[in-house]
Amino acid sequence: MRRPWARAAAVQAACVAITLFMAVPMYLIALAALSSRESLNRFPLPLLPTDLSTETMSAFLRSTGVVPAFLNSLQVGLGTLVLSLLVGVPAGWALARYAFRGKEPYQLFLLLTRALPIVVLSVPLAKVFLTSGLYDTTYAVTLLHTALALPTTVLITAAVFVGVPRDQEEAAMIFGATPVQAFLRVVVPQALPGVAAAAMFAFVLSWNEVLGATILTLNQRTLPAQVLSTLSDSPLAYRFAGGLALVLPALLFIALMRRYLLNMWGATLR
C-alpha cells in the first residue's frame, strides 16, 4: 500500500495474464477453423491470421448431417425455451409471491434434481422413449433438456419476480387496476428482461448438451451430438470447424446476458 501504483500494476499484470489464458484458446480455435485445409497441414502452424479462408468452415457445413443437425439444435433449443418458460414461470411466480406449506420441500426438490447426473436420466429415458415411440425425435431431446433447464428457470424467475415489490402491484390496484392489469402493466414490463435471460439460459443449456442428445437419438442428431458421434472418424479440420461453430453462440450469449450473469449463476444458486 506504500506504493499504490506498484500494486495497481501488479493487479493489471495478473489480469492480463489470466485474460490471455482465457482468450488465446478462443483466438486459436477461430484461427484454426478459418484457415485453409492446406495451411492446417503445415507444421509449424502459422500463429497469425495470414492465410484466412472459409474453406474449412464451408467443408464442415457441407458434410453429411451437419445442416440438419444445426436445424435440429435450433428446434430443440427453441422448444426447450418455450416449454421451460410455460412450466417454469408459474412456479417461479408461486415461489415469489406466496408462502405455502410444502414450499421448502419443493425448493429442496428443485435443488436435488440439479444433482442428478444427465446420464442417469438419459439411459433409462431412452428405454422409456423407445416403448412410447418418442425415441430418435427432437421431442424426446426437448423433453430431456426442459427437465434439465426447469429447476434453473423456476429459481431465476422466482428471483426476478421477487425483484418486483408487491407494493407496486398494490399501488396499481389502488389506482384502479384489476389484478390482471396490475400484473400486465406493472409486473410484466419489469420482469421481462429477467425472464428473457432465463429463456436464453434454457436455450444455451440445450444448445450445449451433448450426452443426452446423443443417447436419445440415432438420426435426429443435434449439432453437438452430430459432432460427437462422428468425432473419431473425422479429420482434424472438421473438428476445429465444429468447435468454432459451438463456441460462437456462447460469445453472443454472454455479451447479451452480461447484466444477468450474477443473478443466474450466482445468486439463485443459494
Please give the residues from 90 up to 109 whose contact with other proteins meets the rule CB under 8 A. Answer: 90-91, 93-103, 106, 109
176 binds other proteins (CB under 8 A): yes
Contacting other proteins (CB under 8 A), which of 173, 183, 196, 235?
173
Site string for other proteins, 26-45 (x = CB under 8 A): x-xx--x--------x-xxx
**SS3 of residue 176 by DSSP:** coil
Q: Which stretch binds other proteins (CB under 8 A): 49-57, 58-66, 73-81, 163-171?
A: 163-171
214 binds other proteins (CB under 8 A): yes
128 binds other proteins (CB under 8 A): yes
Residue with cell 433438456: 145
Which 140-159 residues touch other proteins, going by CB under 8 A? Answer: 143-144, 146-147, 150-151, 154
Per the CB < 8 A criterion, the answer to whether 167 and 202 are in contact is no
**Around Cβ 252, how many Cβ atoms within 10 Å?**
11
255 binds other proteins (CB under 8 A): yes
Q: Which three cell numbers stand for residue 4?
A: 499504490
Plot region of 42 (φ>0 → left; ψ -120 to 50 → alpha; else → beta):
beta
**SS3 of residue 102 by DSSP:** coil
174 binds other proteins (CB under 8 A): yes
Per the CB < 8 A criterion, the answer to whether 241 and 59 are in contact is yes
